[in-house]
Structure 1
Amino acid sequence: MSDGNGTMGLNEHLSERPVYETELVPHRSLGRKGFRILFAITGILSLVHVIFFLTVGAWPIMLFFGLDFVLLYGAFWLNYRAARAREQIRLSRLDLTIRKIAPNGLVREARYNPFWTKLKIARHPEIGITSMRVAGQGRETPLGDFLYPEAREQLASDLTRALATVKQRI
């Protein structure tokens, strides 16, 4: 609603400010530099073995070393591609928005009224949180499937606290 001259009133502007905002990204322990070093060493070792087996006349084995290298590179390529996934969570007094960005760039967005929203958490006694879902208005959206257990615990704690804060400010 505007105040007559086309601008939002102060109360409306304050209610749209985020109470909680975060971006979830998958954890990868091997960075770009480590990746280059790993593949340089693997490539050199494979090349040495290929040359050795080629000189002793066992040329079919050469194909297996090449295939191993290509498969290893393909596995890392798929892993790094999957790491481009993102989840953005933004909670204000009026809206809870969850944006899921797939590795291919496809964006899916779910919006909830925070007053009717509940965070559903599934726990395993030994592992901790195994899954989280935001539920409300007859639908559910999973959260943080790619996170490690400690990060799921932190997200659950932070989001639960933020939802409670929003619900208290009626």
Structure 2
Amino acid sequence: MRLWPHRSLPVTGFVGIMGFTGCMFLVPLAPFIGTPVFWGLLPFLCAAMAALYLFFLRNYRDGELTEELIVWSDRIELVRHNPRSPDQFWEANPYWMRLSLHANRGPVQSYLTMNGGGREVELGAFLSPEEREAVYDDLDRLLKRLPR
């Protein structure tokens, strides 16, 4: 199972927003073209455009986060690929692992955790509550089919 965050804005939408924002910045700037005020406003508008661009890039980079869950009959492994830090690993024996969906307990609604191998880890922190419930159902069904 491979999980990743939802991308609500495709790259074409990003280009459109940047173009629209640039055009809207020209509206208050246009009357001052050819005056010293133009040169006073221009650096601030350019800085705002650069900040918007950098924030979008940061958002896209953060969206590269993925979680891979691999299940064998004798081992379950979770690998979290972080965009700006080293990968995180967790593994346990599926026989002793406990899968929990906390409806109203935890930092988010439908908090999904796996406990085993001496640790408890969160699964799908970036998913919506409905998506976490679906992952729980799929994973629970899979774990029940494993030979005991």
| TM-score (normalised: structure 2) | 0.85
Contact 1:117 1:134 in 2 (8 A): yes
After TM superposition, give the deviation of residue 44 of structure 1 in Å. 2.5
Question: What is the CA RMSD across the aligned residues, in angstroms?
Answer: 2.2
SS at match of 1:44: helix
Matched, 1:123 2:103: yes
Gaps of 5+ in 2: none
Tell me the residue number matched to 1:37.
16
Gaps of 5+ in 1: 1-21
After TM superposition, give the deviation of residue 61 of structure 1 in Å. 3.4
Contact 1:122 1:132 in 2 (8 A): yes
Overall identity of the aligned pairs, in %: 29
Matched, 1:100 2:93: no
> 2: CA distance between counterparts of 1:110 and 1:120?
16
After TM superposition, give the deviation of residue 87 of structure 1 in Å. 0.2
Contact 1:100 1:109 in 2 (8 A): yes
Matched, 1:155 2:102: no
Counterpart amino acid of residue 31 in structure 2: F
Query: Could you give the per-residue CA deviations for residues 22-67 of structure 1, whole angstroms, max 9, x where no partner exists?
Result: 1001101110111111112212222443343455653433333222
Larger Rg: 1
After TM superposition, give the deviation of residue 137 of structure 1 in Å. 2.8
Higher relative contact order (CA 8 A, sep 6+): 1
> 1: CA distance between counterparts of 2:131 and 2:11?
23
- Aligned length in residues: 145
SS at match of 2:95: helix
SS at match of 1:134: strand
| TM-score (normalised: structure 1) | 0.75
Query: Could you give the per-residue CA deviations for residues 127-161 of structure 1, whole angstroms, max 9, x where no partner exists?
Result: 841x2211013211211111122211111111111
Contact 1:119 1:133 in 2 (8 A): yes
Tell me the residue number matched to 1:26.
5
> 2: CA distance between counterparts of 1:152 and 1:37?
32
Matched, 1:85 2:65: yes
SS at match of 1:110: strand
1:112 to 89, 92, 96: 92
Tell me the residue number matched to 1:49.
28
